[in-house]
Amino acid sequence: MSDASKVLIIYTGGTIGMVEDPETGYLHAFDFDHLLEEIPELNKVDVELEVTSLEKPIDSSNMGPKIWVDLLEVIEQQYNAFDGFVILHGSDTMAYTASAMSFLLENVNKPIIFTGSQLPIGKIRTDGKENLITAIEIAGDYENGYPVVPEVAIYFEYALYRANRTTKISAENFEAFHSPNYPLLAEAGVHIKYNRFAIQKPEIAPLIARKQIVDDVASIKIFPGLQQKVFQAVANVPNLKGLIIETYGSGNAPSLPWLTEELVALNEKGVIVLNVTQCVTGKVIQGKYETGVHLERAGVISGEDMTYEAAITKMMYLLSCEELLLEEKKQYLETNLRGELS
What is the rounded end-to-end Cα distance, in angstroms, of the chain? 30
DSSP string, 127-183: SHHHHHHHHHHHHT-EETTEES--SEEEEETTEEEEGGG-EE--SSSS--EE-TTS-
C-alpha span between 155 and 274 (Å, rounded): 28
Q: How far apart are CA 155 and CA 184, in angstroms?
A: 10
Pick the catalytic residue from 15, 134, 167, 313: 15
CA 226 to chain centre: 29
Q: Cα(17)–Cα(262) distance, rounded to whole angstroms?
A: 46
Q: Which helix (H) or strand (E) holds 290?
A: helix 290-297
* Dist CA 169 CA 63 (whole Å): 19
Tell me, yes or no, if 260 is annotated catalytic.
no
Q: Order of strands across the sheet with 6-11? A: 48-53, 6-11, 84-88, 112-115, 152-156, 159-162, 186-188, 192-194
Three-class SS of residue 252? strand
Question: How far apart are the C-alpha atoms of 74 and 219, rounded to whole Å?
Answer: 30
Catalytic positions are 15
